[in-house]
Structure 1
């Protein structure tokens, strides 16, 4: 069994040279000593030096610095440059780490044999020495230290003072723009992973865009990864919801003079907002992480990220449940790293449609185990009228097939009742928020028609009369 893999080492180092941002992902797992080849150790050590000096980690700077250190190997360096960069660097970095630990264990086993046979020590002393060395191997890869109580107390007091300064007794996190949802969640907190799940046609994307627009009204930035539809389609939906122009009319360009005026006003309003959409379509979690890190660095005002939707994120892991586990965990860690809430839309299993009560539950999530574990908040969207309409159409179809006339007592509504079911909330209650869904505009609104001044939150900022 080989306890090293030079091809993977070269692929990882090549990936960093190809894209310097990859260094952070690798450095979180590997240290220079984890590479087997000495030159690979020197090269990764030099990458670390350049990173801390905020200099480009590229071929020119690496070559110059290695030459200055008198550790440059032209042949080994060219071999790395000629190796195709590895895409899933974290997965392969963990493999290199695993091999490194095994080498250390074998080295320790050799030391143990030598100590026991050659050194004149009491057995208990040898056991303690071995335990110490084993502990060093086990803990050498841990990043970060414990926080003492004084540090924790100071940070907690700072957090409380920050909340007091907001002078808002309802919202402590990012304002959702929905009164009752704010009351249930206190807003979305920094570092939260929020899952919004539903069956098709329930309005997942519409609800996420409504949340995005409410955040934009607060002059805070929003990033959207649209893996299913082009950016222009998302913008049509957002404009429809914001301007109250029917979505179908916008798609057809069937607008009267008043609606053209509204369209112009809302377009001018949105064009000045910090909204960023990536509609590349086929992306993996590493690409999402790299793009979001870069965007956040360039636009610190980014306060919310939305991914539509989770199951469309590609992965090199074949087992789908393991891939989803890796994706959901990575999104949670990314939310904590960037200190913003990340919303990921998710599909539900078809199993719920065979139940009399079709309201979703946590077990209806596809690959639910990992998602349920990593998410801070899981919300389901449910509109009973969607199923009533389907049932009515099915009855009509069956009757026509039998040559019978059937009278359908169900009439589709322009405004339907909607439920936002909070199935999990790590730091708050679960329950149902009642809303209304305006189908023509793909717009969710609070069902409460009148609220007191206290119940109004920061998201009730006036926007142009459109």
Structure 2
């Protein structure tokens, strides 16, 4: 079978070919559609760049920097001409935009529709078609379904994250999903993936979990510890990185021990 025939078969979408032919076919493609850097050196080393098809979970206690980290990534991605699509359900759009210093270019829906994965998937594809947005930020997980009407939230969350993973893989997107932690995850408690609300399904279905916690003992320092809890592709576990808020965004303190 020739590679031309394989291309024709793949367009039909319903066929089986040998591993040898598939390897030859895929070798023609670029190694990665996307490999974006955060410009947080130790984070970039730990994840070897953010790549298409991945779902990255960002979690931490309330008011500990989840959204700020996502905004810092948005700013750095825009510098590399990767302009993100944002679904910010938790705060009004005007307030959300005001939190950026030197507002970077990214895209947002005019009107947000919570509790609808179908709508989110449609808007993600529409945004890519119009603006080539391969990076998606969702703040936060529990706005993607109606918690009050759900009999088993954990199962519903597992379904949602699998749908996000499918969306990422099929469309070569990167999805950053912000999640809350359990109430018992405040200062003094060890922060792990098990601290995430409905943690079993969140951690099982995601490619990477990033956990962030501010230094509440010395809030005037504007520092936080970012932990790469795990990354499936690189195999990194429990990598801690010290960050500081500087000029409105999080940057790494490279000369400090965590």
> What range describes the TM-score normalised by the shorter chain of this pair?
0.7 to 0.9
**Structure 1 Cα separation of the partners of residues 88 and 21 of structure 2:** 40
* Aligned: 1:336 with 2:169: yes
SS of alignment partner, residue 39 of structure 2 = coil
What is the CA deviation profile of residues 92-121 of structure 1, one whole-angstrom value per residue up to 9, with x for unaligned ones? xxxxxxxxxxxxxxxxxxxxxxxxxxxxxx
Matched pairs, number: 241
* Residue matched to 1:210: 72
- Tell me the equivalent position of 1:292: 124
The residue correspondences of 1:399-438 to structure 2 (distance < 5 A) are 412-416=219-223, 418-428=224-234, 429-438=236-245
Alignment of 1:352 onto 2:214: no
* Equivalent in 233, 248, 252 of residue 446 of structure 1: 252
Distance in 2 between the 1:335 and 1:149 partners? 23
CA contact (8 A) 2:89 2:143 kept: yes
Shift of 1:155: 4.7
Structure 1 residues 234, 149: CA separation in 2 closer, same or farther (over 3 Å shift)?
same
Higher helix share: 1
Matches within 5 A, 1:18-97: none
Structure 1 residue 280 and structure 2 residue 112: aligned?
Answer: yes
Equivalent of residue 27 in structure 2, options 148, 157, 160: 157
- Structure 2, unmatched stretches of 5+, are 1-12
2:113, 2:119 within 8 Å by CA — same for their partners in 1? Answer: no
CA contact (8 A) 1:228 1:281 kept: no
CA gap 1:226/1:282 in 2 versus in 1, 3 angstroms: same
Bigger CA drift: 148-157 or 366-375? 148-157
Report how far residue 372 of structure 1 moved: 1.2
Measured after TM superposition, the shift of residue 157 of structure 1 is 3.4
RMSD after superposition: 2.7
Q: Which structure has more strand as a fraction of its residues?
A: 2
Does structure 1 conserve the Cα–Cα contact (< 8 Å) formed by 2:244 and 2:252? no
Return the offset for 1:448: 1.7
Shift of 1:311: 1.4
Partner of 2:4: none
Cα-to-partner distance string for 1:379-406 (whole Å, 9 max, x where unaligned): 10022x22x3xxxxxxxxxxxxxxxxxx
Alignment-derived partner of residue 18 in structure 2: 148
In the TM superposition, residue 145 of structure 1 has moved relative to its aligned partner by 4.1
Q: So what's the TM-score if we normalise by structure 1? A: 0.48
Q: Is 1:372 the counterpart of 2:242 in the alignment?
A: no
Q: Larger radius of gyration, structure 1 or 2? A: 1
TM-score, normalised via structure 2 length: 0.83
2:83 to 221, 232, 256: 221
Q: CA deviation at 1:360?
A: 1.2
Question: 1:306 is paired with a residue of what secondary structure?
Answer: strand
